[in-house]
Amino acid sequence: MYQDKIVLCGANSYEEKYYLNPDFENLPDHIKDELKILCILYVNDVGGILTLVFDEDGSLQLEVTAEECDPMFDDIGSQLKIKQIQNDPEKQELLRQLELYYKIFFLNMPEEEILSQGEL
């Protein structure tokens, strides 16, 4: 069922929109709120489009794109902001828990396999 990249959520500074994949509507409201805040603050700070995507093995990736010749997009600021998110202990835990959720409920990975990867 889920063999390619699956978008969790994203924000677009050009259209001023936030998107949450309907497949994840059953996440707790506080998690959905955290994701929305993370995405919107990111695009407000540096511009472009931020998308949180699960890859084939269930890892959560932060993908950034910008329109060509966008003078407002801050490429260096973008990279720094991604590092800041990845190094924030609270955000690290949120992203790790989302990966576990995806692996268990979407990829139907057995607990033993997840344990062998050292994720619990």
- Tens digit of each residue's pLDDT (9 = 90 or more) over 53-99: 999 989 999 999 999 888 889 889 999 999 999 999 999 999 999 99
Q: CA 20 from chain center: how many Å? A: 10
CA atoms within 13 A on the CB side of 54: 25
By C-alpha distance, which of 85, 96, 44 is closest to 63? 85
The band of 112, judged by pLDDT with boundaries at 50, 70 and 90, is confident
- Report the percent of the chain where pLDDT is more than 70: 95
Give the rounded percent of residues in the chain with a pLDDT score beyond 90. 74
pLDDT of residue 1: 46
Give the dihedral sign, CA 76/78/79/81.
positive
CA triple 110-112-116, angle to 5 deg: 125
Whole-angstrom distance, CA of residue 114 vs CA of residue 103: 8
pTM of the predicted structure, to 2 decimals = 0.89
